[in-house]
Structure 1
């Protein structure tokens, strides 16, 4: 599918999504704060916090990130303490979920992604939570760790969902992998545990660097000291935690992050199915 074939959001849709995501964020932050769990605005949400004092006007998601220890505890407390209107989506809780990140999803809404027709759980309007895992100072070991994660992640995907790919050949290859992985006496929980072990391979020791293994841009290491002590910043109508060296992190991720992109690039592709339900 070419870029021109994606559906674009209407102004009303993007504002409505952002309104609901802000509601989710506030509820999640309230629980994290009550349990003394440290989070940081991340990615486009961190960029929006600094450049726009809130959402990037055309952005359709919220990303926060936590050090692994806090991330694992956050999954437990969110599972227990989230209001009933939310689902916690993570591969440890849902059989055919393949994401190493977590999502807090609003029940009664629909946010159709490329994979949602292939899974049994419902994905609503949501926000993302990412873990930060320990990484050694060696870029050679760091890249090896990234390749290991990518390798294990493919086994998780291929064991969890049976989907149609971009070409017939790739579809047949993927279906074959799915059938084999679901035939042999090793279930998908094994591959998920293997993926988590790869992500947390260096957790046994303190490291100066950390990494977001799920980073779609590929291997990118961050300095642990750039996050704490966090500072507060305005995001829309309330305060959030951001890394203390946000300028360094944003420059590392985006380059000249204060430069507004050209108008033709100011949009995200809308999902094929978008339903706000009663909201």
Structure 2
């Protein structure tokens, strides 16, 4: 069944997917807690924690977020301590990965996205780990920082993957950009380093505000003190950590977040290929 141009999950698929993602979350959280690394449920997963005590019934992913210092430590630790059944997907670890955040992906499963046929690594059922970086009080500088991120991210993505676009002209233009970026001495690793440098530009001192650079909603600064110290809340059958001032953050992201959307809006686009493997 499809919704518009999108494939829709069956009730059985979304429930099964959520069960597997919950397993991944538990494994990741156990490692983060073991090393006293701070994390917070984020985005739709934070909303689900508060409004549904678990998953939003139609949500198909789990998002957590960490401050940069904890994120960088978590990457090294997860890389070494994740069970063998997982892959850690992030641009510093995989040559043709362009994600500035990270994914913990379950091997021998498939969760296709628009880009998966253009990369060499396999993307399985996964959860996302996002990052909070410092920004100053000035919205002018904050927005400049955001546009700088977008600028360098375009170089990263255009140097990592060679995709077919919506029109022949755009496809040829993108392919030309890809070829140029992979011909000149500045390679994709350099663009990734420049992107990270832009993201962490204000991290040399503590600031009152932080931002998730990858936020698809655009520039959205948060107050650091709204996150820490974390408090505990129930997510399905176990406890997770959420921002101290979750109400303010959820209101900032969603507005009247306790209002459940109408039935016609309660879906996520399912991937073209969803394979649970042995799970």
* Common fold by TM > 0.5: yes
For the residues of structure 1 that align with 2:267 and 2:100, how far apart are their CA atoms?
26
Aligned residue number for residue 195 of structure 1: 195
Q: Could you give the per-residue CA deviations for residues 19-53 of structure 1, whole angstroms, max 9, x where no partner exists? A: 00000000000000000100000000000000000
Superposition misfits of 4+ residues, deviation over 2 angstroms: none
Aligned residue number for residue 16 of structure 1: 16
Q: Secondary structure at the match of 1:12?
A: helix
For the residues of structure 1 that align with 2:168 and 2:204, how far apart are their CA atoms?
43
Q: Secondary structure at the match of 1:166?
A: coil
TM-score, reference length from structure 2 = 0.99
For the residues of structure 1 that align with 2:172 and 2:54, how far apart are their CA atoms?
44
Aligned residue number for residue 56 of structure 1: 56
Q: Secondary structure at the match of 1:222?
A: strand
Deviation of 1:170 (Å) = 1.4
Aligned residue number for residue 165 of structure 2: 165
For the residues of structure 2 that align with 1:92 and 1:3, how far apart are their CA atoms?
36
Q: Judge which range, 106-115 or 2-11, deviates more.
A: 2-11
For the residues of structure 2 that align with 1:271 and 1:25, how far apart are their CA atoms?
20
Aligned residue number for residue 123 of structure 2: 123
For the residues of structure 2 that align with 1:149 and 1:140, how far apart are their CA atoms?
14
Q: CA RMSD in A?
A: 0.8
Deviation of 1:229 (Å) = 1.1
Aligned residue number for residue 220 of structure 2: 220
Point out where structure 2 has 5 or more consecutive residues left out of the alignment: none
Deviation of 1:133 (Å) = 0.1
Aligned residue number for residue 253 of structure 2: 253
For the residues of structure 2 that align with 1:135 and 1:77, how far apart are their CA atoms?
26
Q: Secondary structure at the match of 1:183?
A: coil
Aligned residue number for residue 83 of structure 2: 83
Number of equivalences: 278
Aligned residue number for residue 145 of structure 2: 145
Aligned residue number for residue 95 of structure 2: 95
For the residues of structure 2 that align with 1:15 and 1:3, how far apart are their CA atoms?
19
For the residues of structure 1 that align with 2:3 and 2:267, how far apart are their CA atoms?
11
Deviation of 1:169 (Å) = 1.6
Q: Secondary structure at the match of 1:7?
A: strand
For the residues of structure 2 that align with 1:256 and 1:221, how far apart are their CA atoms?
19
Aligned residue number for residue 183 of structure 1: 183
Aligned residue number for residue 65 of structure 2: 65
Q: Secondary structure at the match of 2:164?
A: coil
For the residues of structure 2 that align with 1:116 and 1:83, how far apart are their CA atoms?
23
Q: Could you give the per-residue CA deviations for residues 197-224 of structure 1, whole angstroms, max 9, x where no partner exists? A: 0000001111000000000000000000
Q: Secondary structure at the match of 2:70?
A: helix
For the residues of structure 2 that align with 1:71 and 1:38, how far apart are their CA atoms?
9
Q: Secondary structure at the match of 2:4?
A: helix
Point out where structure 1 has 5 or more consecutive residues left out of the alignment: none
For the residues of structure 1 that align with 2:81 and 2:245, how far apart are their CA atoms?
31
Deviation of 1:3 (Å) = 6.0
TM-score, reference length from structure 1 = 0.99
For the residues of structure 2 that align with 1:36 and 1:215, how far apart are their CA atoms?
26
